[in-house]
Each structure stands twice: as C-alpha cells, then as structure tokens.
Structure 1
Amino acid sequence: MKITLISLNNFSVKKVSNYLQDLSNQLDQNFEVVFCLQRLSKSFEVMKEINSFAADDLKNKIKIVYFSKSVTCSEMYLQALNVASGNYSVVLNSDASFKKDFVTKVLSIIKKTKADLIEYRPRLFGVSKYKPNSRLQTKVPLDIAQHKLIFAYSFPFLFNKIVKTDLAKEVKVRKFKDDLDNKFLIELNYFLLLLSKKYYYYDETLTKEYVSEHYIFDFQKFRLSFKNIKAYLKEFNLDFEEEFQYAKYFFYKLFSIALVSDIHPYYKLKNKAFDTDLKISHSMEQFNKLFKFLEALEKSKNFDKFLEENKYMLHPIQETKNLKKKLHKLKIHKLFQEI
C-alpha cells in the first residue's frame, strides 16, 4: 500500500525545502510525492532544491510535472494523476503543515476503512484561521447515494480528502471550466464525492492548509463552480437538490464572508482608508461584491424558501442559526469559530 502526495503550490524555495525535510522524517515511507511546477521565475531554484532531495533522502520518491505555460489547479491535479502510482492520492501542498506520523495515520485509516474517499477534519492557518466543528460522524464507510447528507455536510475543499487514485482518474475525461483558486478546488471535490461509492469521515485534523496574505479571493469564480456543479447534477439526473442548496448557501453566506474578512479584516475595509495597492483594492472590490450579492440573496424568494423548507435547516446547529441571521447581525470576525 502506497499513497501519492500531490503538491500544487510550490512557489517558495524555503517552504519546499521544509516540506521535503518533513517528508524525509515521516515514520512511514510508503509514499511518493508529485510536484507540479509552472513556468515561473523561481521554478528553477525550486527544482534544484527538489532534485537535491531526490538524489539523497527521498530517492525514487519524487516526480515532477512541469508546465511550460500557466494552467489551472484543476489541470495540474489531473496531470499529476497521470504519473501517480499510489493506491490513494492526497493533495498536500508544500506550504501545508503536518506531523511526522501523517503517512502512518493515512495508511492506517485506508486499511481500516477501504473507502473510495476519506475525508478528515480540515484546518486553515496563516491569515485565515479556521478550526471547524465536526459536521459529520461515520462509524463505517457509507454510500453517498444512500446517505445524501454527506454532500450537504462535506467540507467544500479537496485538500482534506484522501481519494482512491483509480477513482480520481475517472474525472479526467471532464473538462473543468474554472481557473479558480489554488486552495479549494470545489468542482473536483464535489465530482469526486459523487463518484464515490464508499465514503468515510475521520474526525481528526491531519494537516493544516496555509492561506497566504497574497491569496486573491474571487467570489464570482466560486459562484461559477457551484453553477457547474448544479449543471453536472442535472446532466446526470442526480437528485441532490436539497443537499446542493445547503452546501452552496453554507459556502456563500458563511464560509466566503468569514474567509474574505480574515484576508482583509472587515473593520479595515469599513473604517480605514487604503493605499493604492492593487491586491488590497481587488480585495475591497471582492468584499463589496460579496456583500451586495448576499444582501440581494437575503431578499430573494429562493433563499426564503430554502430557509423555510430545506430539511437541513431544521437541524438546530450553530451554522443553521447563522444562516438564518440577517447579514448585518452576523458576527463576521467570529464566524470561523462557530462553523
């Protein structure tokens, strides 16, 4: 049994070096790592650092997929699968944090559950700090077609999923329209969930995903992802409407607003003048667009119907309480402590 680790973010020589050292210190060495490198100014230095470990501590464990032009993270992930030889694959970026027993735990969970897709509790660190509550409990692997709540409550990220490699390769035939963020890969995440026959949730954090101060939030592209997922459900006549609506509104109203307020804190956006820095200007624009969208959403009949009729809104948990609150009453800075 072997796992393939896929690193999509490899921009910092120092972080790649630390990552390689952490891998060489793993208690269980039954893994390989695939680095996806784009044609960037630091790629040559990063490649030199990777090759130094490939010749020594991690001999025969490293593979590199090089892209001569800029590509999306979806494309990088799918191309990495072309060279993956592990039984299971995990996105583990070079800026992530993990302990020396990471591979040991992953292999143990795989052997215990034999699930197609295993999800573990995610965590964000850096400019955004998210240590979520449990949203699912599973004692045995479950069939998502029979337990649709998995779609509603699964976290909307790919980086906290351990996926059977053969299953992941099945999505390669689909063209992904997003040129999205480098963290969440929402479309791939939900497509893989829908392809899975056996799903298992492991209620422990195995890695922490880093969110940089340079992360650029683009809500319109997130909306596009959910539109594509909805089209996929319709195309294949998959009845997950209530689950899809719940997952979508959780992401729109709670996760997105918490994330963007972490990246550029809400009080600064509202109360302080900014300089002309383009990234800050972009973030202000995205924050304002998101706020206007959510204000319009709250006035819509579709959202009222969702609040009143969606079966997942009947559960008296903190995230449903927050979904029911008006936007101006949400404690935005504390959202990541409550969901």
Structure 2
Amino acid sequence: MSDLGGPVHWVDFGGPRADEGVPVVMVHGLGGSHLNWVALGPALAGRHHAYAIDLAGFGLTSGTNRSTTVQANAELVARFVREVVGRPVVLIGNSMGGMVSLLVTAAHPDLVEGLVLIDPSIPIPIPRQRPDFRIAAQFALYATPFVGERYMTVMSKRVSDRQRVQSVVDLCFADPARADPAVVDAGVELAAHRRQTPGQEAAFLGAARSLMKVLTAPGRYQSLIRGIDTPVLLVHGELDRLVPVAAARAIAASNPRWETEFLPGVGHTPQLEAHEAVHARTARWLAEHHLSDPIATTPLATTRHDSSPRTTDSPTARP
C-alpha cells in the first residue's frame, strides 16, 4: 500500500534496476484489479520494472471517500508514477484502463514514454458496428440513477462470488476454457473480500458512469486522442464483445502513426487469454522504440511516499 491521497494497493512484479529500461505500469479495466496482469507482469519484468495498480474503488484499493471516475483515476495513476515509480513510464491499459492511460498521457505527457492499449474503451462507430445488445442493456442499467443502484444491490444478493467471477470470464474471453483456474480462484477470493468492503457498488457505478460520459462525447475524446504524440501500440482481440474490433480498426485508421496488432479468436482481455502473444508483440514494440534500453531520463523531481515494493497480506495480491 502507498498513501496517495488515501491507501492505494499496487503490485511490484520486479525487474531490472530502474535505469536499465523504462518501467511499465499496468492499468486494469472496469471491475478488474491487479489480477488482470498476473500473466503479463512477470513476463515483462524480464526487461522492465513492472507494476500493476489497483484503481480507486477496485481490487484492494478502497473507493470510500474518494472519486472513482476515470478522470480521478487518471490523476491517481499520474501521482503513482511521480511518487512511487519516480520516472517516466510505459503505460499499459486494458479496457477502462486504456481510457485512463489515454487521459494520463494527454494531461501529463512528461510522465509517459510509451502507451500500450489493450482493447481500450473507445467510441463504437455506429451504424457500422452495433454493440452487443445484452451489454448495451446492462450499461444502460448502470447509467440510470436509482435503477443502477438497485440492480447492483439485487445482483449482489442473488449471485455468488464464483458466479460473479465466472460471468466476467464468460463475457471477456472468446473461449472461457482458456482462463487460468488459479487466477479464477484468486478472483473469487478477492470478490469475497470486496463483498465486505463498504461502498463497492457505488464505486463501480461512479467509474462506469464516468466512462460512459466520455464515450457519449466522442468528438472531444477523439480530439484528445489525436493530440497524443507518444508512441502507441494498439492490441485488440477480434472477438471482443465489449469493444468491437470495428471500433479498434476505426480509431487505428484515424491515428496512422499507431502500430496495431489484431488477435484472431481472442476476446476483451488478451493479456489473460493470449498472454504469450501479447507479451511477444509488446516486447518487440518496446525494443523497436528503444524503450528497453538504458534510461537516459533523470528521475522525476517529487516527494515520494512509501515507495518500497509492496503487495498485501491477501493471497490474491500475489502474482
């Protein structure tokens, strides 16, 4: 844990010395946690010091008494880079974490040497691609005041922790059989822990509603994205039900400097479903952009808080 305006949980996967390669910070999606990176983190730690942060309201970071919007979590990630890592980083963001990473890069370009977007939350080009009806209906529930709160309360009572985790796997994997049983079990344990955490439903809804608000103003969001001149790698599963591949192809076409990798037969969380392919492409891109080389930048001038490597006592925090 670190004190960044409140306790923030993060995992240090280790890696070389801070001056031997640009550090990487991995940012999970809506409803996710550090567990989303337990396959990719150790692989990247061979050449880069690798961290995974639990955003406010998710994983083992409480959302109580703090905002859980994507904007607030972007500022949290920026503060983590300054005060914990202490050097500019490569941000790797999945889903909502991709949106958060884009917001960080746009607002704090000095903190970001490179950006890897894995199935990021981006506008869907309707009518060329209609969203999955069930997913659209679920997010409509989240967006509706009082209805969203009631829905979350009812589902919390009716669905077990294992059922909740399995439903996420079924949604995010093209082939749920590819899910690592040990990671699923750790997710169930984390869900049981979070069930005892006050305000988790409100934290989730706050994040979900802020994400949807950004997506409903696509012109402003796309303008922000086009203004980013940091090197970008986009990796996207072709069978993603949450962010259709048509959306990824459209945003790649409008940002021709980006490099892209589309993964056939893979869903919304390639870093879990096809982590070897994601690592291979990411590692090659990092090397091509000399982000695996010794760091020439100086440490960020900042006051740091409790920046020693941390996990928690919970087994779910161990990669």
Report if TM-score (shorter chain) is over 0.5: no
Q: For this structure pair, what is the TM-score category when the shorter chain's length is used for normalisation?
A: under 0.3
Larger radius of gyration: 1
Of the two structures, which has the highest relative contact order with CA contacts closer than 8 Å and spacing of 6 or more? 2
